[in-house]
Amino acid sequence: MVDYLKLAWRNIWRNKRRTLITIASIFFGVLLSSFMSSMQEGSYAQYITTIVNSYSGHLQIHKRGYWDDKVINNSMKFDGTLTSKIAKVKDITFYTPRLESYALASTDEFTKGVMVMGIDPETENDLTSISIKIKEGRYLEDHDGGVLLGSALAKFLKLSVNDTLVLLGQGYHGTSAAGKYTVKGIVKQPAPELDRLLVYMDIHTAQDLFSMQGMVTSVVIMVNDNDKVAPVKDKLEGLTGSEEEVMDWKEMNSLLLKQIESDRSSGNIMKGVLYMIITFGILSTIMMMMAERKKEFGVLIAVGMKKYKLIIMLVLEIVFIGMAGVITGIMGSIPLIYYYLHNPIPLTGQAGEMMLQMGFEPAMFFSMAPSIFYYQALIIFVFTILIGLYPVYNISRLKIMSAIRN
């Protein structure tokens, strides 16, 4: 016997061509929209990973107020008290202290303002992999007395490995800071800004320079999973006092996240327009189909089919068309996106140049996050429900006699 499902299924194939065209329109809509979403989400993930891994880390601890006012006096003690607290929190993979400040770099001929970053060579390298960016000389050792320069900075100052650099500046609480350092290596920083400004040195050397033994401006923390950031942050906040602030990568990169959010909304508007067009396509198919079958509906009600049952049958027909489009669309997108996931589209020319300048790899990356796919299904589902209102409206107004006479 035919139940409503079977009946609805047969009904949608009464006009094969029309149904296939409608399904194809959904198919291409889903394909296009998941491709777009995948590319967007892939790029966002790429931006975030790059930023997190090249600078901010998952979490940072500072003296309270440091993030808003990054001066050397807003620093904190980095000693057993703090490290033992960090050690208590599980899911932390590693942490690394930093001492960041500014100074004037001078050689015999030139002077330039630079960013001095005191690091723990080993753990910092675990996070930001500086050692592989060394293009001349060598990476820092523990308690190294030398410095690493960004390649553009080195070029500007006309310095090469084993040359000497003088740093002058202000130390902790108004002391004066001055030191002479041997250039141990030249680092090619992908971000041009940093390449022109950055001087790395061992954190102890930096503490000596700024006269602040045992002090750091930040402790960068990595956890083993993105989902662990929030709970670890809570734990750390509980353990540290009101003197310190714990910030996660979202707070530290709020500008980037805002940009991502606005990019995502403009993408959603585009997808929304696309889906509106598809919806009107489906709606017109359903309206035509229902107009053609008006007499049949009259007969069905005449012989005793209640209107709501007829509506259920028609909504099922719409759901079938929608589902056929979504399922084929998702089945088509998976291999397509899978391919691009493993073969990002390289960006050349201006766009590529811009990405490079911002420190990102110049390519379009893709994401295969499941949400990309079920989001499509959800949207089509919502539109299907909206289209389903048409039969509700149409059938509830239907007059048996005028339908049969049709």
To another protein, the closest distance from the beta carbon of 318 in angstroms equals 16
Q: Which of 291, 305, 334, 354 binds another protein (CB under 8 A)?
A: 305
Considering the rule CB under 8 A, would residue 143 count as an interface residue with another protein? no
CA–CA separation, 59 and 79 (whole Å): 18
- Output 88 or 399, the one with its CB closest to another protein: 399
Q: Which of 65, 306, 331, 371 binds another protein (CB under 8 A)?
A: 306
User: Both tokens of residue 339?
Assistant: 């391919």
- The reply on whether position 5 binds another protein by CB under 8 A is no
CA 329 to CA 381: how far, in whole Å? 14
> Judged by CB under 8 A, which of 80, 174, 241, 304 binds another protein?
304
* Residue closer to another protein, measured from CB, 15 or 123: 15
Q: Least distance (Å) from another protein to the CB of residue 398?
A: 10
Among 72, 116, 290, 300, binds another protein (CB under 8 A): 300
Chosen residue from 296, 327, 369, 390 binding another protein by CB under 8 A: 296
Among 54, 334, 19, smallest CA distance to 189 is for 54
Distance CA 64, CA 86 (A): 17
How many helices (H) and strands (E) would you count in the chain? 15, 14
Q: Which stretch binds another protein (CB under 8 A): 10-18, 187-195, 244-252, 348-356?
A: 10-18
Contacts with 9 (C-beta within 8 Å, 6 or more apart), sequence order: 320
Helices 370-397 and 16-51, interaxial angle, to 10°? 140
Range list of H helices, 129-187:
151-157
- Residue 97: closest CA among 115, 109, 73, 80: 80
Contact by Cβ (8 Å): 333, 31: yes
Q: Cβ of residue 301: shortest distance to another protein, in angstroms? A: 6
By three-state DSSP, how is residue 134 classified?
strand
Alpha carbon 223 to its chain centroid, in Å, reads 17
User: Does residue 400 interact with another protein by CB under 8 A?
Assistant: yes
Q: Is 2 in the site for another protein (CB under 8 A)?
A: yes
If one asks whether residue 307 binds another protein (CB under 8 A), the answer comes out as yes
CB of 405 to another protein, least distance (A): 9
The sign of the torsion formed by the CA atoms of 115, 120, 123, 125 equals positive
Tell the smallest beta-carbon distance from residue 369 to another protein (Å): 41
Pick the binder of another protein from 5, 7, 288, 291 (CB under 8 A): 7
Footprint on this chain of another protein (rule: CB under 8 A): 1-3, 7, 10-11, 14, 295-296, 299-307, 309, 400-401, 404
